[in-house]
Structure formats: structure tokens, C-alpha cells
A and B are shown apart, each in its own frame.
Chain A
């Protein structure tokens, strides 16, 4: 495991190498060499099983973090290759030629986050939502509760409580609030 991490560090100048537990490590590489690193891991190091591709929205940094998670069936280890891309006009090189299922993930990410993968087959087709006209639904700035209340018809009489405040009020009604807690968004 450590050998491979050292090699990735040298070859692709990986940063932020973190071993999460035995047999699972995450590395961050530059956007330009991310797919090179993935291809190298697949062809030379035996990481032949493509587990998943995922995206995290770090809205405060203005970045999307893409993850390619690979598994080596011989050594039973996983390496997650992460890369950061810009949040405005996000685009990434398509990796659909590496494994057969990659284009499905790219089609989902295009719909859910709006990340473009030029050249990926059927990337513009709908994946799960049909006739969507709002901003991509998995972005952090999309407020699903607001959307739901505006679009659908909430049945009157439904009450929602913040569990912490509600339990405090119910169990200790007379006690003053000591620690100030940020309330959940209702």
C-alpha cells in the first residue's frame, strides 16, 4: 500500500495523501493528470476494478471534488484518486474508454452537479429526473425543502421540530439555555 502511495506521490506529485484505514487510501492529484493516474493504476498496478465515481460539492472553496475509487482484487486494497475542479463551468476529461460503466457515472454527474464530460456517450440524456428546469439538484445551493414547498402541496397540519430544541423544551422547560447552538434549518 505505502509503496504505491509513494509512487503516486513521485509520479503525479500527489498531495494530501491520507490512509483512512488498512487497505484504503485517498490521494489528491492535479486535474490534468487525474485520468493518467487512474490509467496507470489500472494498467500497471493491478487496480482493475472500478468501484465508483463520486463528486463532493465544496461550495465554500468554489470547487467540486471528483473521486475515482479503484480496487485491487489481488492485494485487496483501494485507492481513491481525488481531483478538484472549478465550480463555475465545471468540466472534466471523459474516462468512458477506461471501463464500460464509467459513462453512466458521468451521465449522472452531468445531471446532478452539472459537470460536463465532453465526448462521453449519452451524457446529455436524462438520468433520473425528467424535465428538470432548476439548477442541478445535487449542488449545495439548491434548497430541496424550499423547492418542495413551492412546487408540491404540503398537507396542512404537519409539524416539524428541531429535535434538540424540542426535546429541551419538553424535558427541561424551566432550565435556561447555556450552550448556544446553531439551529437546524427548521
Chain B
């Protein structure tokens, strides 16, 4: 970038080999290329994963993602647990937004056993509240985290503090800070405590304030602008080719949001419009996420206003110890903070599932897409590109 001010900028496309993807032809013994491992022991990597970079000078010529450091074999473990035992296990599949796993596994079992119509109204609203709070705490880490990759550490300090306030509300509602186990098959576990809405409103006002300040801090900052603009561009043609979902797709103008396309719960009763941008670079993606932060705060307010005051929170379900689901299969999806998040669930008529397969957005973002976006990027930008795709390794390897 500094070359711009010096009046000279080399045209990288004309340089040999730096932008060409050579793959297996890279001859490491020529001493032209060097191998650098980014992670797993690296403070900048999003979670415990590694990228094997082959660099030429400062430019990445080849990248390979290595996952499996967080592999616990959930899908195998759930196969040997009862439906209700598999429940607390499965929600630990992704730590960034565990509530989405709760909703998926609860809905899959309800659909296959025919209880999906029996879920009470109140429970559906509370599920939505829990899911939106999870999205909010994810965004409070994600949006300033993108600034953090360009050395704007202050936003991270604010964001993590505000996220903690949301975790406090979660603790009040569910009794746990991170793994809530609130959305259970048939409904939810509890009603709102007294005064919850007022305390939540207090926190939301703090977050409103934060949203305005983070805009000044990040989007009006020349360092952030110079580095994020035009970096790691996703074009609309790439969206279907790579299976890009969520904010990464919306950042380049492809408006896909499961909440709008196939409304689940009561999302059709809420007034919202998923934000989009046209550029598709890191700046646009972060901008979309920042708008989504405003929208999520608004959605939580809407949910708390439209929600009935009281009502049943759990349907009459069969005895969980003897619960058998007939043979069948289903796929349920929802919109998490990172994009479409789905679960393929197969039952075989016994008291345990036959197969559970999670489809996380990072599965495509962090491997196929990231490896291609990194080619030609600077080593210093690798971390920013990873964070901008919101890669989350536990949902890749489960």
C-alpha cells in the first residue's frame, strides 16, 4: 500500500508465478518458496486450526487448511446415546453459538416423531429470543474482532464486555453462561424471570451506544478502510459454486437468509429485512454484519414486545427414557450468525438415532473457499481473511 504514496505500484498480475496457482508443482528445494504453518498454536487463528501456507516472499501461493484438532466424534457418540442423552452432547458441537444446535436437534426429533405441531406458542417465542440473543453475542465478538485483525484492539475490549452482559442475561434465563441447554424437545425449559425485559433493555441501550461508537472506530478509520477495501473479494458467481451462505453471500449482493426464505418459528411475524452490500470484500462483509447488529437488537426488542405474557412452555412429550422414533430422515436448517446451519437426522425406529450429520457454514468457508481466497494474498492479511469468513473449526470436524 505504501507504494501508492511513493508513486509506484507493481502490477502483481504481470509478475510470474506469484498469483498463479501451481499446487503440486511448487518445488520447495528451489528455495524460492517457503512453507509457513499458521496455527494451531497461533493467537490469531480463529480457534484451533492450522493453515499450511506456501509463500513466495510475502505472497501466498498455496494454502491448505488442516482441521481435526477439535475432533471429538460427536456424530459417533450420539449414535450410542438415547435421544435425550444425545441432547446435551450435541449442543457442544459449536461453542460460538451453541443455541443453534439446541434448536436443530430439538426440531429434528420433534419433526420425526410428529410433535412439531404440539410445540406451544410461548415456547416458540422464547426459542426465538434465545436464538437472537445467541446471534447478538456472536456478532458482538465478530464485528469488533474484524477490527482486531487490523490492530484495532479497543473495539474487542468493548465487544467482549458487552457480550458478557448478554451472557449474564442468558445465565438469568437458563442458568448457564455458555452452554445453556434451554431449547429442549417439545418446548423450552423456563419462562422469563421477573424484570428480565427491563434488564435486557438496559443492556440493549448500552449496545446501541456501542454500535455508534464502533462505527466511528472501524468504518471511519483510514487504516481499516485501506486494508479491508478490495481484499478477499467474493463475487456473486462464486456463491453457488462454493456454497457460500449467510453474511458472506449477503456481502456480495446475494440476498439469502433462511429466516426470510423459509421462515421457521415466528420469523414471518417480525418486521425485518436482511442487509446486503454489493462489494463482496472484507469491508462489505463487516458492514453487513454491523447492520445486522442493529437489526438483531431491533429483533430482540420486537420479540420481547410481541411475545405473549404467559403460556405453556412445553408440550406433553413421551417418557424420554423409552422414547422411540419411527424410521425416517429429515433436514432442518436455520440462519445462524455465520449463515445456513443445518442438521441431517436419520432414525431407524430404535431409541437412538442412526445418523446425525451437521452442516456448518464453515465447512465450505474455511476449506474450499478460504484456500482459494488466500492465493495471492499477503501473509499479513491471512488472519483478516479468516476472520472475515467467520471460520469456526469445531463445526467443521464436530
B357 touches A52 (CB 8 A): yes
Q: Quick check: is B279 within 8 A (CB to CB) of the other chain?
A: no
B68 touches A126 (CB 8 A): yes
Question: Which residue from chain B places its CB closest to the CB of A21 in the assembled complex?
Answer: B111
B346 touches A163 (CB 8 A): no
A76 touches B262 (CB 8 A): yes
Q: How far is B254's CA from A153's CA once the two chains are assembled, in angstroms?
A: 51
Cβ-Cβ contact count across A and B, 8 Å cutoff? 102
Q: Quick check: is A101 within 8 A (CB to CB) of the other chain?
A: yes
Which residues from A are CB-within-8-Å of B111? 20-21
Q: Quick check: is A135 within 8 A (CB to CB) of the other chain?
A: no
Which residues from B are CB-within-8-Å of A56? 329, 346, 354-355
Q: Quick check: is B41 within 8 A (CB to CB) of the other chain?
A: no
B256 touches A137 (CB 8 A): no
Question: Which residue from chain A places its CB closest to the CB of B238 in the assembled complex?
Answer: A100
Which residues 79-97 in A have Cβ within 8 Å of B in the complex?
A: 80
The segment out of A5-13, A30-38, A43-51 that lies at the interface is A43-51
Q: Quick check: is B368 within 8 A (CB to CB) of the other chain?
A: yes
A50 touches B243 (CB 8 A): yes
Which residues from B are CB-within-8-Å of A50? 243
Question: Which residue from chain A places its CB closest to the CB of B360 in the assembled complex?
Answer: A52
Taking the nearest CB of chain B, how far is it from the CB of A11, in angstroms?
22
Q: Quick check: is B330 within 8 A (CB to CB) of the other chain?
A: yes
B331 touches A80 (CB 8 A): yes
Q: Quick check: is A99 within 8 A (CB to CB) of the other chain?
A: yes
* Chain B 47-59 interface mask (CB, 8 Å, partner A; 1/0): 0000000000000
The one of B330, B357, B364, B372 in contact with A21, judged by C-beta atoms closer than 8 angstroms, is B330
Which residues from A are CB-within-8-Å of B331? 20, 24, 51-52, 69, 78, 80
Q: Quick check: is B161 within 8 A (CB to CB) of the other chain?
A: no
Which residues from B are CB-within-8-Å of A49? 240, 243
Q: Quick check: is B21 within 8 A (CB to CB) of the other chain?
A: no
The one of A24, A54, A129, A163 in contact with B82, judged by C-beta atoms closer than 8 angstroms, is A163
The segment out of B71-79, B86-94, B177-185, B219-227 that lies at the interface is B71-79
* Chain B 340-367 interface mask (CB, 8 Å, partner A; 1/0): 1010101000000011010100011001
Q: How far is B363's CA from A21's CA once the two chains are assembled, in angstroms?
A: 26
Which residues from B are CB-within-8-Å of A20? 111, 328-331
Which residues from B are CB-within-8-Å of A48? 240
Taking the nearest CB of chain B, how far is it from the CB of A33, in angstroms?
21
Which residues from B are CB-within-8-Å of A145? 80
Taking the nearest CB of chain B, how far is it from the CB of A123, in angstroms?
14
Q: How far is B79's CA from A55's CA once the two chains are assembled, in angstroms?
A: 14
Q: Quick check: is A118 within 8 A (CB to CB) of the other chain?
A: no
Which residues from B are CB-within-8-Å of A23? 262
A181 touches B322 (CB 8 A): yes
A26 touches B329 (CB 8 A): yes
Q: How far is B321's CA from A146's CA once the two chains are assembled, in angstroms?
A: 24
A185 touches B80 (CB 8 A): yes
Q: Quick check: is B132 within 8 A (CB to CB) of the other chain?
A: no
Q: Quick check: is B369 within 8 A (CB to CB) of the other chain?
A: yes
Q: How far is B364's CA from A101's CA once the two chains are assembled, in angstroms?
A: 6
A57 touches B355 (CB 8 A): yes
Question: Which residue from chain A places its CB closest to the CB of B69 in the assembled complex?
Answer: A128
Q: How far is B243's CA from A89's CA once the two chains are assembled, in angstroms?
A: 30
The one of B77, B80, B355, B368 in contact with A54, judged by C-beta atoms closer than 8 angstroms, is B355
Q: How far is B369's CA from A99's CA once the two chains are assembled, in angstroms?
A: 11
Q: How far is B263's CA from A23's CA once the two chains are assembled, in angstroms?
A: 12
Q: How far is B332's CA from A21's CA once the two chains are assembled, in angstroms?
A: 10
Q: Quick check: is B67 within 8 A (CB to CB) of the other chain?
A: yes
Question: Nearest 4 CB-CB pairs, A to B?
Answer: A128-B68, A101-B368, A128-B71, A101-B364
Given contacts A144-B76, A184-B80, 18 further A-B contacts (CB under 8 A): A49-B240, A50-B243, A51-B342, A52-B331, A52-B357, A56-B346, A73-B261, A78-B331, A100-B364, A100-B368, A100-B369, A104-B364, A104-B368, A137-B73, A144-B73, A144-B80, A163-B321, A164-B321
Contacts from B to A (Cβ < 8 Å): 67-68, 71, 73, 75-77, 79-80, 82, 85, 111, 240-243, 256, 261-262, 321-322, 328-331, 333, 340, 342, 344, 346, 354-355, 357, 359, 363-364, 367-369, 372, 397
Contacts from A to B (Cβ < 8 Å): 20-21, 23-24, 26, 48-52, 54-57, 67, 69, 73, 76, 78, 80, 99-101, 103-104, 126-130, 137-138, 140, 142, 144-145, 163-164, 167, 181, 184-185
Q: List 23 A-B contacts (CB under 8 A).
A: A20-B329, A21-B330, A23-B262, A26-B329, A51-B243, A51-B342, A52-B357, A52-B363, A54-B355, A54-B357, A56-B346, A56-B355, A73-B261, A100-B369, A101-B367, A103-B368, A104-B364, A104-B368, A127-B397, A128-B68, A138-B76, A142-B76, A163-B85
